[in-house]
Amino acid sequence: MTTKPSILKDLPADLDRERLPKHVAVIMDGNGRWAKRQGLPRIVGHRRGVDALKDLLRCCRDWGIEALTAYAFSTENWGRPLEEVDFLMTLFERVLRQELREMMEEDVKIKFVGNLDSLPKTLRAEIDRSVEATQNNSGIQFSVATNYGGRQEILQACRSIAAMVQDGKLQPDQIDEGLFEKHLYTAGICDPDLLIRTSGEMRISNFLLWQVAYAEIYITETMWPDFDRQAFHVALRDYQQRQRRFGKV
Ligand code: IPE
Ligand code: IPE
Ligand code: MG
């Protein structure tokens, strides 16, 4: 892994260890604009975006955050030019292959959320390999949303629950939030406490629609490739100043 020098290796002193989010989710946006600003092709932004993600994962681990979920490719991103889509799929595959050893050393447990069936076969094979290899790791839970759409996720949960009802294994009145969550891709992972979106866009873009019901949302103008430990520190400081009421007073 290429890492920046070990700046902010430890949790910054102004953050309260007891009040860290357990689960951070990130919409990694702005790779293309980051590249364009430097007069570079968009794909360079995606490459730099991978470096930013690797350092954030390591930072979460260093600072004691239990789970990180990153939005890597949405169900809508297939609408991009073919060359960009191809580049991204190849990039994901290569990164997975290259990083598996280090994920093992760092005790990362990787999971993929999304409809994986329509991904290229070779990428699918790397995904299966990394998930299987890391399944007994007990460090940070790292979820990568790939070909992920929140609506699509909810629909596939509905389909599988409807099939259980049809087979007589379940009564409609047994369908509650707990059961529903078990049919989402994110089953077994707690909801995100903090949702970060880079590049200033104020939207959810079909990410974790069910799960972000009570997430604190933090939006920064910083483009994803520039989102470093200092930027994450600022986001966490902001988060710790929030009062989470969950509808109460
Ligand atoms: C986010 O950066 C990465 C992916 C969606 C894969 P973008 O590629 O959306 O970058 P911008 O938003 O065009 O700058
Ligand atoms: C969201 O970014 C998807 C990912 C970060 C993978 P987009 O760039 O695709 O979102 P929109 O199009 O600005 O909503
Ligand atoms: Mg974008």
The average pLDDT across 86-108 equals 98
- The secondary structure of residue 23, as a DSSP letter, is E
Distance 144 CA to ligand 1 centre (A): 15
The average pLDDT across 100-109 equals 98
pTM: 0.96
Residue closest by Cα to atom 9 of ligand 2: 77
Domains of the chain, by residue range, sit at 20-149+191-240
- Indicate whether residue 77 lines ligand 1 (CB < 6 A): yes
- Confidence band (pLDDT; 50, 70, 90) for 224? very high
Give the Cα separation of 147 and 184 in Å (integer).
Answer: 14
The average pLDDT across 111-121 equals 98
Q: Is the pLDDT of residue 6 over 90?
A: no
- Confidence band (pLDDT; 50, 70, 90) for 175? very high
Give the Cα separation of 84 and 100 in Å (integer).
Answer: 24
- Indicate whether residue 27 lines ligand 2 (CB < 6 A): yes
Q: Classify domain 20-149+191-240 by CATH architecture.
A: 3-Layer(aba) Sandwich (3.40)
Q: Is the pLDDT of residue 61 over 70?
A: yes
Q: Is the pLDDT of residue 186 over 70?
A: yes
- Indicate whether residue 148 lines ligand 2 (CB < 6 A): no
Q: Which pair of structure tokens corresponds to residue 47?
A: 């490459």
Maximum C-alpha span of the chain: 60
DSSP 76-138: GGGGS-HHHHHHHHHHHHHHHHHHHHHHHHTT-EEEEES-GGGS-HHHHHHHHHHHHHHTT--
Q: Which active-site residues does the annotation give? A: 29, 77
Give the pLDDT score at 7: 77
